[in-house]
Chain A
Amino acid sequence: MTTTTRSPRHRKPAVARASRLVGTGTMIRLALRRDRFRLPAWIAAHGLLVVYIGSALPQLAPTKEDLAGISSLLSQPVGRMFTGPAFGMDDVTYERFFAAGYVPYLFILAALMNIMLVIRHTRKEEQTGRAELIRASVTGRHTALTAALIVALLANIAAAALVIVLAVMLEYALVGSMLVGFATGLTGLAFAGVAAITAQLSEFSRSATGMAGAVLGVAFVLRALGDMVAVGGSALSWASPLGWAAQTAPYVEDRWIPLVLLAGFAAVTITAGFVLQRRRDFGASLIPPRPGPAHAAASLGHPLGLAYRLQRGGMLGWGSAILILGVINGLFTQAMLDAGEDMPPQLSAVFGSEQLLDGYVGFLGGFTGIFIAAYVVYAMQTLKSEEDAGRADTVLATAVSRMGWLSTHVVVIALGSVVITAVTGLSTGLGAATVTGEWELVGSLFLAHFAVVAAPLTVLGLCAALFGLVPRVVAPVGWLLVALIGIVELFGDLLDLPEWLRTLSPLWHLASVPVEGFETMPMMVLLGATLVLLAVGLAAFRRRQVNVV
C-alpha cells in the first residue's frame, strides 16, 4: 500500500500531464465490466444486419433481373434520400445493393452506439455523482473521457471486424467489405468525438445525448439532400460525415480518401472534447446556470402542471426534431414527383401504391408515426428516472396518489404525441403544398398523420403497463418495439418480413391513408388495447412498491 509510486506532490510538470490520465486502465476495465451485456448486443446488432440482409436479398430477388428490377428503388431520388448516393445501380450485384441500401443504416447504428456509450461513461456518471468518488480517488481529469473513448475505439474495432468477416463470408469482395467495415468503425469514432464535445456542453446526460443526436440528424439531412440531387451525391453530400462514409462507394469505386476525412473529423472532435474539458469544473457545464423564479407558478402546484413542466423539455426537443424532418419531407414532394415519371413499379413496395403522390403521402404519415413512438418511449423512460432518483418518493409522500402521478404523466405524453403528430402533419402538408401548388395536400397529409396516431398511443399503453408491472423493462422492450415498428414500416415489404413479425407492430395494422381508405375498426381496436394497457399499468402501479430494486 505504501509502496505506490503515485505521489503527485513530488512530480515534475512533465509527469503531471500524464497524471491527468492516471487510472485509465482501471476505468476501462470498469466500463467493459458494466457494459458486458450492452456492448456485445450493440456489436451483434451490426453483424445481424449484415447477415440478415445478406441472406434475405437472394430470396427477395433470386435472379440478376429481379435485382435490377428493384435496384431503381434505391437509385430514385426518394430512395437516395433515405439510403445514400446509390453507386453502381446500373450494374447491380448483391453486394452493391447491400452497400447502397443497407450499409448507410450500419453507419447510423455505429453512430448511435458511440454517442450513447461516450455519454453514458462521462456525463451520466458526473451527473449522478458516481464519478465524484472516482475522481476523488487516484484518477486524473481526463481519465473518464479517455477511458470512454478507448472503450468506444475497442467497440468500433470489434464492430468493424465483425462486419468485414461476415461480409466476406457472404462472398462479397474483400476490398469493398473492408471499406464497409472501416467506414462503419470510423463513423462510430467520429460520433464518439461529437459526443465527447456535447458531454462538456450540458450538465445533463440527456441533453448531451440529444445534442449529439441532433448533430447526427443534421448529418443525415445534409447527406439526404445532397444525395437527392444526383446519383453519386453532390457537394452537399460531402458536407456530412455520413456522406463521407457513403462516398467510399464500396464494391463500386472503392475509394479510401473519405476514410481520411472521417478519421480527421474524429481526431478534431476528440481533441476539442479534451480541450473543452480542461476549461470546465467537474460536474459543471460550459453553459453557466442562470437564476430562476423564487416562487412556483400556480400551475406547478397541481400534479398535471408538474408533469407538464417535467415533460416539457423532452416534448419540445423531440417535437421540433420531428417537425423539421416532416417539413423537409414535405418540401421534397415536387422533386419526388419529377423523378416519378420513370418510377419503377417496385416502388409500390415501399409506398404501397401505383399512385406515387398518394403513396408518398401515406408513407410520410407512417414515417412520422415511427418517431412519435420513439418519443413516447423516451418520455416514459423519464418516469423510471424519477423513481430511481428518489424524486417520485418525495412527490408520492405528498397528497398525490399513485394514480394521479402516473396518469398525469401519461396524459401529458399522450397529448404531446397527438399535438406533435397534428402539427407535423399540417406543416408537412404546407411544405408539400408550397412546392407543388396543390393545396389539398395539406388536408391529405394531415389525415395521413392523424390516421397513424393510434400506433404510438398503443406503445404508450404498453410502456405504462410495463412501468406498473416490471419497470426495469420499460426501456429495453420499448426501444425494441420502436425498432420493430421502424423496420416493419420501412423494410417490411422490401425484406419480405414474415407476417407474424409484422403483426407485432401496431402501426402495421393501421390503414395507410390515402392509399387505403381510412378504417375505423383497427384504430378503435388499438385505442381499446391502449386503454386496457393503461388500466393494467395504473392498477399494477397502485399495487407495487415504489423505488425498490
Chain B
Amino acid sequence: MTTTPAISIRGLIKNFGSTRALDSLNLEVNQGEVHGFLGPNGAGKSTTIRVLLGLLHADAGTVEVMGGDPWKDAVALHRRLAYVPGDVELWPNLTGGEAIDVFARLRGKLDRTRRNELCERFDLDPTKKARTYSKGNRQKVALISALASDVELLLLDEPTAGLDPLMEVVFQQAIREVKDAGTTVLLSSHILSQVEVLADRISIVRQGSVVETGSLDELRHMTRTTVIAETDHPAPHLAQLSGVHDFTEQEGKVQFQLDGDSFDEAMQSLTPLGIRSLVAHPPTLEQLLMRHYGDAATGAEEAPR
C-alpha cells in the first residue's frame, strides 16, 4: 500500500498536431507528500495534469494515478481525487455555493461543516451568482469544493492565481491541514514562496520533460552556493580550485560561487588565510529556477526538430 506512489509517469509523450507538448516526461509523486510542480509558461504542467485526469490521452508512456490508469479508470479515480484548474469557469446562473456543492457531490462526499468553515475562512459569500464573482472568488469556489471533499489526492493547477496575500496564507494553512490528514498534493504554481514553504519535493519541468526532481535541499545541493568571505591575507589562489566559479576579489573581500560538493576543499584553503567574516547564501528557489527558465529561451531555438 505505502509502496505504490500516488502518481507515477514514465516516458509520457503528448503531441498536439505537430507541437510536442510533453516529451518523455517522468514524474513520481509519493503518497502523502506535497509535490511542487514548477516550470516556465508553456512547459507542459497543465497538459500533464489533464493527462492525469484522463481528459487527454497519452500518445506514449505509462501513467498511473493511485495505481490506476487515468484514461480507463477515470471515474473510479475521480472519486478519490479533486482538481482545481488555474482558470475556474463556473455556470453564470448558479450561485458560488451551489457550484461548490455540485462539484463536491459529483465527486462523492461533501463534508458540510468543513465546507461552511472553509467558506468562512476564505471569506466567500456563497449566495452570489457566479457571474458576479471576481476571478479570485471563482478560484475560491473551486478550492473550497476540492478541500471540502474527502479525497486522497489533490491536483492543483495554479490554484491561487488571483488570490490576495491574506487568502494565500489561508490556502497554505489549509494545505498543511490536508497534508497532515495524509492527502497527497500535486501543486503546480508560479508562486515560488508558496512552493518553498509547502512542498516536500519539487519537480521542474521544461519543454515537456522534467529536468530536475528532489527536495529543496537536494536541489540546492546540486546548485552553487554564493560565498562572501573577508580574510586577513589575500586569497587569489582560490580561483584555481575546480569547484569555484565567478571569483572576484575587492579590498580584501572575496566573492565566488561554490559547487555543492566542493565546500570542504574551499574551506580548507580559506582557513589558513585568517577568516574575519564568512557569509554563504544557499541558492533561493528563484535562483534554482532561473537557471532552467533562462535556458528555456535558448533551448527552444536549439531544440531538435
Contacts and interface: CB of A to CB of B under 8 A. Distances in A.
Interface in A361-410: 389-391, 393-402, 404
A546 B55 contact: yes
Given A292-B98, A393-B55, A203 B131 contact: yes
A62 interface: no
A26 interface: no
A289 B55 contact: no
A467 B163 CA distance: 36
A296 B85 contact: no
A548 B56 contact: yes
Interface in B100-158: 100-103, 105-108, 110, 125-129, 131-132, 142, 155
B131 A296 contact: no
Contacts of A294: 95, 97, 126-127
Contacts of B94: 292, 296, 309
Contact of B91 (A289, A301, A310, A546): A310
A163 B279 CA distance: 84
A391 B89 contact: yes
Given A394-B83, A396-B55, A293 B127 contact: yes
B87 A390 contact: yes
A291 B87 CA distance: 23
Interface in B48-79: 50, 53-57, 74-76, 78-79
A400 B50 CA distance: 16
A514 B129 CA distance: 49
B106 A295 contact: no
Contact of A390 (B85, B97, B126): B85
A292 B102 contact: no
Contacts of B125: 291
Contacts of B74: 396, 401-402
A383 B115 CA distance: 29
B46 to A, nearest CB: 10
B78 A398 contact: yes
Contact of B92 (A204, A291, A297, A545): A204
B89 to A, nearest CB: 5
A306 interface: yes
A548 B16 CA distance: 9
Contact of A296 (B54, B55, B75, B102): B102
Contacts of B288: none
Nearest to B132: A289
A290 to B, nearest CB: 8
Interface string B31-59: 00000000000000000001001111100
A389 B131 CA distance: 13
A443 interface: no
B235 interface: no
A399 B103 CA distance: 9
Nearest to B155: A397
A293 B53 contact: no
A237 to B, nearest CB: 38
A431 interface: no
Interface in A169-209: 203-204
Interface string A254-298: 000000000000000000000000000000000001111111110
Contact of B78 (A296, A309, A399): A399
Nearest to A544: B57
Contact of A300 (B16, B83, B89, B98): B98
A396 B53 contact: yes
Contacts of A390: 85, 87, 89
Given A310-B91, A393-B85, A398 B103 contact: yes
Taking chain B's interface residues, is the majority helix, strand, or loop, or is none over half, making it mixed?
A: mixed
B107 A295 contact: no
A313 interface: yes
Contacts of A396: 53-55, 74, 78
Contacts of B128: 289, 291-292
A503 interface: no
B75 A399 contact: yes
A229 B76 CA distance: 65
B90 interface: yes
B88 interface: yes
A397 B98 contact: no
A320 interface: no
Contacts of A389: 89
Contacts of A295: 97-98, 101, 126
Contact of B85 (A313, A394, A399): A394
A547 interface: yes
A119 B90 CA distance: 22
A397 to B, nearest CB: 4
Given A390-B85, A394-B142, A399 B101 contact: no
B55 A547 contact: yes
A478 interface: no
Contacts of B269: none
Given A293-B95, A301-B101, A399-B75, A391 B90 contact: yes
Contacts of B57: 545
Nearest to A405: B106
B106 A203 contact: no
B93 interface: yes
A294 to B, nearest CB: 4
Nearest to A207: B93
Nearest to B128: A291
Nearest to A298: B105
A303 interface: yes
B93 A300 contact: no
Contacts of A391: 89-91
A393 B55 CA distance: 7
B16 A394 contact: no
Contact of A313 (B55, B75, B79, B93): B93
A401 B54 CA distance: 11
A402 B73 CA distance: 11
Nearest to B51: A545
B240 to A, nearest CB: 51
Interface of B: 16, 50, 53-57, 74-76, 78-79, 81-83, 85, 87-95, 97-103, 105-108, 110, 125-129, 131-132, 142, 155
Return the 7 tightest CB-CB contacts between A and B, nearest first: A301-B105, A296-B101, A398-B106, A397-B83, A292-B95, A294-B97, A296-B98
27 contacts: A289-B129, A292-B97, A292-B129, A294-B97, A295-B97, A295-B101, A296-B100, A296-B101, A303-B106, A306-B106, A313-B93, A389-B89, A390-B85, A391-B90, A391-B91, A393-B55, A394-B85, A396-B78, A397-B55, A398-B82, A398-B103, A399-B75, A399-B78, A399-B106, A545-B57, A546-B55, A548-B56
Interface of A: 203-204, 289-297, 300-303, 306, 309-310, 313, 389-391, 393-402, 404, 545-548
Given A296-B105, A303-B106, A390-B89, 12 more contacts: A203-B92, A292-B94, A293-B98, A296-B98, A296-B99, A300-B98, A300-B102, A301-B106, A394-B103, A395-B106, A396-B54, A398-B107
